[in-house]
Chain A
Amino acid sequence: MNTHRDSSFWSRLTTLCVALAFGVEACVPTAPVAPVAAPPASGGAPAATAAPVARAASDSIQIALPGYAFSLNPEIVRLAQVYSDEHPDQPPIKLTLSAQAQDLIDTSKFLLETKEQRSSFDAWFGITPFIDTVKLVEGGVLDPWDSYLPADIKADIFPSNLQEGTYQGKLYSWPQITSVTGLNYRPSLLKAAGYDKPPTTWDEMLKVTGDVDAKTKPVRGVSFDTRVWRSLIPLSVSLGGDSAFGADGYLNWSDPSVSGALDLMAKLAKNAPPDIFTATGDVDVFKTSQSATLIKYVDAGITAAKAFGMNDYAFAPLPAAQAGGKSRTVQWGTGFALFKYAKHKKEVADFISYLVKSDDYQNGWINSGEPIVLQSWYTKLGDKTPAWLAANSAMLQDARFIPPTKDFLQMATVTKPWVEKVLKGEATSQEALQGSKADFEAALKRTS
């Protein structure tokens, strides 16, 4: 027997097996990461189980929350404890922190459990309607809230937030907070360029940012996120309202508002630093005082303002197409989703109603710079409404939403390179939109 040949054969076989295993394993659906217990809240209360230990863990109202919900609004933990104490006749509230809940990875866990006709949770905070709804409804994961959401609360929610959470006539996202694209700015940097007020039209915006660029070097005029739903869609809606979306819910590729928005972005990009092409560069330059304005939702601006101080931060509605015109923009909310195989549907709805009606809960969001979705609250706050929240309120009255569609993320992925080409002057807006449409259709054809 030729031992050398033999060992060489096994060596090759092993090599092949190792490579094959690593390669294929990288692309195979794997078991999602199990949720972990929540860290203690700032007050020191145990967060994982908000109810007395004596209660059976197997009979509890289970709610999954992403890590950011705990850090933004620690009141949730305290209120869950209070609610459990006040309702000894009901199963206790158990909040579970899921580090990945804001990622799509975690929805795989929900889909998998649904196929097994079970659910670890009754509700999940973290649904982003335009990304998650279709997938989770088609996968049979969700039940609508319509039978459980109290009418008074429903009537109080901004219409746009309700509409975006609705799919095929049923409400799948019970909205809690919302991101509204507007204009974050630094009053001191605008003043240095000779402006006391933020621009109210896009023409003014181009002039102001151009002047900042020229007069306050190295500070640049503007910064914005190049992702499709964070600039192209809000700007398209700002210019054309509802016509920015086609009947299928995707971008209306041939609408003048969309090509106009791309042209506007290209003009703005001349007054923007190159960081807008990196993952978080748009916020980083605003945070480090290298950009006077930032087109994004308010929480990004407030987070950045922690670096330079809230006294030099302001938020204004997105500029309008024409002088005296209405400022229109896009909002998307984050809400609670109800699982089809939830064991305590009514009870979890009761708890969320309790949360929603709690001043501490709503103030918890506001204190973190998260706009809330209840219209009455904006009246209730009156003169005490923070300026940034008032600007949000003004836009929310007439905000558009991104319709839930099956392939939104794929559309955004294939469109982004074309947007970047326009911003770099490598393609016209018309070429980019035609190219995006063709690429999107080809991608759908391949995988459908």
Chain B
Amino acid sequence: MNRALERWAGVAFVAPAVLFFGVYTLYPVLRAFYLSFTHYEFASSQPPVFVGFNNYVTALQDPMVIGGLGKALWFTALFYPGAIVLPLAVALLLDRVQHPAAGGVYRVLFYIPAIIPSPLIFALWRWMYAPSTGLINFLVVDTLHIAATRPLWVADPHWAMPSIAFMEWWWGLGQMAVFFLVSLNNISRDLYEAARIDGASEWQVIRRITLPLLRPTILTWVVLKITVFAVVVEMLVFGGTGDTLMTWARYAWENAFVYGLLNVSYGATVGWIGAIVMCVLAFIAHRLLRSESYV
């Protein structure tokens, strides 16, 4: 194959992905950016009217936007330990299971929640958290007598976010653990053996060998999982009392797709503000976890 043909073949292979990215990601992003400088209601016959930074000025003074960013930040902070640290710990344990059959059974058990469709997950956990009829209060109040009164869980302003974060931990645990297991399998066993021969404890092996070598994987997942900052569906499904679960992304969605004549320009503005904050968070995470030399 001559060089020119090879080059065009490469372009042809890449083109579908580029086209898909352009149409379904880049264009909406740029369109939202444009709309954020206009006043435009999707259900109105009026075309977009340029309003400069008006939407941004309004949004930055909107208590629902500021509060929504805080709520999303709180949810993200609750989410990460269970979405990264817990699966990593489970993966480290599973990696040490010597019996092949037992290892397989554990992996399947942990992975089961990941294959349950989201509507079933939400229906299941809504029932689990139901104050009078749910399984959790049956265990906590009626069986173990840990609490005297029945916690409201998702309907309690203090417990709503932790309750949903806990569901997310359970849901993603097996899947994330499998990803970490794959990365663990890529670490040479010779390194572990050498460390143990040198007298390293198990904790030292994890801290000095496993975690540094897993750092690129951890960094990747920390950055990818930052999308939880834009959580919408869970907040809509569980509803919550008051505006407990009105994160910035849900507020943007409600403005763009529910309220009035569908003010997509304000929704896009809130979306862009949230996205910029998310970029900053991703950047901070990247700075904290980046390695000088990946192995």
Q: Which residues of A contact B237 (CB under 8 A)?
A: 279
Q: Which residues of B contact A108 (CB under 8 A)?
A: 42, 257, 262
Q: Which residue of B lies closest to A19 (CB)?
A: B282
Contact partner of A274 among B131, B266, B292, CB < 8 A? B131
Least distance between A12 CB and chain B CB atoms (Å): 6
Least distance between A397 CB and chain B CB atoms (Å): 33
For the complex, would chain A's binding face be called helix, strand, loop or mixed by DSSP majority? helix
Indicate the member of A16, A105, A134, A279 with the most B CB atoms within 10 Å. Answer: A279
C-beta contact mask, A7-25 vs B, less than 8 Å → 1, else 0?
Answer: 0100110011011111111
Task: Indicate whether A136 reaches chain B with its CB closer than 8 angstroms.
Answer: yes
Q: Are A277 and B126 in contact (CB under 8 A)?
A: no
Least distance between A114 CB and chain B CB atoms (Å): 9
Least distance between A46 CB and chain B CB atoms (Å): 26
Q: Are A104 and B258 in contact (CB under 8 A)?
A: yes
A144-203 contacts to B, CB under 8 A, are none
Q: Which residues of B contact A277 (CB under 8 A)?
A: 152, 155, 241
Least distance between B243 CB and chain A CB atoms (Å): 6
C-beta contact mask, A406-430 vs B, less than 8 Å → 1, else 0?
Answer: 1101100100110011000000000
Least distance between B37 CB and chain A CB atoms (Å): 14
Q: Are B254 and A27 in contact (CB under 8 A)?
A: no
Knowing A140-B45, A277-B241, A413-B254, say if A27 contacts B32 (CB, 8 Å).
yes
How many chain A residues sit at the interface, stated as a range, is: 35 or more
Question: How far is it, in angstroms, between the C-alpha of A22 and the C-alpha of B28 when the chains are bound?
Answer: 11
Contact partner of A8 among B227, B268, B282, B290, CB < 8 A? B290
B62-106 contacts to A, CB under 8 A, are 62, 64
Q: A207-215, A280-288, A298-306: which one contacts chain B?
A: A280-288
Least distance between A249 CB and chain B CB atoms (Å): 13
Contact partner of A138 among B25, B43, B154, B282, CB < 8 A? B43
Question: How far is it, in angstroms, between the C-alpha of A278 and the C-alpha of B134 when the chains are bound?
Answer: 12
Task: Indicate whether B207 reaches chain A with its CB closer than 8 angstroms.
Answer: no
Contact partner of A18 among B45, B223, B257, CB < 8 A? B223
Q: Which residue of A lies closest to B274 (CB)?
A: A23
Q: Are A273 and B226 in contact (CB under 8 A)?
A: no
B27-47 contacts to A, CB under 8 A, are 28-29, 31-33, 42-45
Question: How far is it, in angstroms, between the C-alpha of A89 and the C-alpha of B254 when the chains are bound?
Answer: 45
B interface residues (Cβ-Cβ under 8 A, vs A): 25-26, 28-29, 31-33, 42-45, 58, 62, 64, 126-127, 129-133, 150, 152, 154-155, 223-224, 226-227, 229-230, 232, 237-239, 241-243, 249, 252-264, 266-268, 270-272, 274-276, 278-279, 281-283, 286, 290, 292
A interface residues (Cβ-Cβ under 8 A, vs B): 4, 8, 11-12, 15-16, 18-30, 104-105, 108, 111, 134-136, 138-140, 273-275, 277-281, 284-285, 288, 290, 406-407, 409-410, 413, 416-417, 420-421, 443, 446-448
30 contacts between A and B (CB under 8 A): A19-B223, A19-B226, A19-B227, A19-B281, A22-B227, A23-B274, A25-B25, A25-B29, A26-B227, A26-B232, A27-B32, A27-B253, A29-B257, A105-B257, A135-B260, A139-B45, A275-B132, A277-B152, A277-B241, A278-B152, A280-B126, A281-B131, A285-B132, A285-B133, A410-B258, A416-B242, A417-B241, A420-B242, A443-B64, A446-B58
- By Cβ-Cβ distance, the 6 closest A-B pairs, closest first, are A27-B271, A23-B275, A417-B242, A139-B43, A277-B155, A19-B282
